[in-house]
Amino acid sequence: GQSLEQPSEVTAVEGAIVQINCTYQTSGFYGLSWYQQHDGGAPTFLSYNALDGLEETGRFSSFLSRSDSYGYLLLQELQMKDSASYFCAVRDGANNLFFGTGTRLTVIP
Amino acid sequence: DADVTQTPRNRITKTGKRIMLECSQTKGHDRMYWYRQDPGLGLRLIYYSFDVKDINKGEISDGYSVSRQAQAKFSLSLESAIPNQTALYFCATSDYRAHTGELFFGEGSRLTVL
C-alpha cells in the first residue's frame, strides 16, 4: 500500500520562502509529484521528481531523496495567490498516483 | 472549453438512488481516472482505465462501478447512493507516453447524498 505524510497547515508571510515536506511509504515508487489546488478548484500539476535532487520551475522547486523516502516543495517569493492546498503524490509502476492528505498554505500580508 | 469536462457539476440526491457522473476529454489521452476527495483525506483513487477494454479497481472501489464507453468517455456510477458517498469527485486523464506523474483534472462533481 501507499502512505504519505505532510503537514496539514502552514502559514507564511508574503515575499517569504516556505517549504512543505512529504514523507512516504510505498510498495512501489517511480516518482513524486506535487499539485496545487485552490478552494473550489481542480488540482493542477506543479512538478515531478523521479530522481534524487532538486527540480526548479520558476518560483517553485521540488526536492526528492529516495533513500530517505522524503521530498519537499519549496515556494519562493510568496504571493497572496499562492494560498492554496498542496498535495504530494507518489507514482507507482502502473503510472497511478496516490495522494497525500494535503497541506493548506495561508499567505499573510 | 475545458479539456476534461465533468457533468453534472453539482448533484443532490437521496439515499438509494442510482447516480451517474460523466467525464469526457478532448486531450486524446488513453488513461482516465476517477478520484474522490473528502476534507482532510486528500484524493483517493476509485477506478482507472488504460484503454477502452481495460478497467481496474483503485483504493476505494466498493459501492462504485465505471464504464469506458469510448477513449474519450469514462463514467462513474453509484448503483445505490449512501450518505457517506457525499464527496467531491474528480475525473482525470494522463498520457501513457509521459512518465511525469502529471494528471489533468476536470473541474469536479460535487455530490450530496441525503
User: pLDDT tens, A15-67?
Assistant: 999 999 999 998 888 999 999 999 989 999 999 999 999 999 899 999 999 99
B44 to chain A nearest CA, in Å?
Answer: 7
B55 vs A: CB within 8 A: no
B89 vs A: CB within 8 A: no
B102 to chain A nearest CA, in Å?
Answer: 6
**In this predicted model, what pLDDT tens digit does every residue of B38-80 receive, in sequence order?**
987 889 999 999 999 899 999 899 999 999 999 999 999 999 9
The pLDDT, as a whole number, for residue B112 is 97
Q: Quick check: A32 and B103 CB within 8 A?
A: no
Q: Quick check: B42 and A99 CB within 8 A?
A: yes
Residues 57-86 of B with CB under 8 A from A: 58-59
Grid cell, residue B108, equals 469536479
Residues 26-45 of B with CB under 8 A from A: 31, 33, 35, 40-45
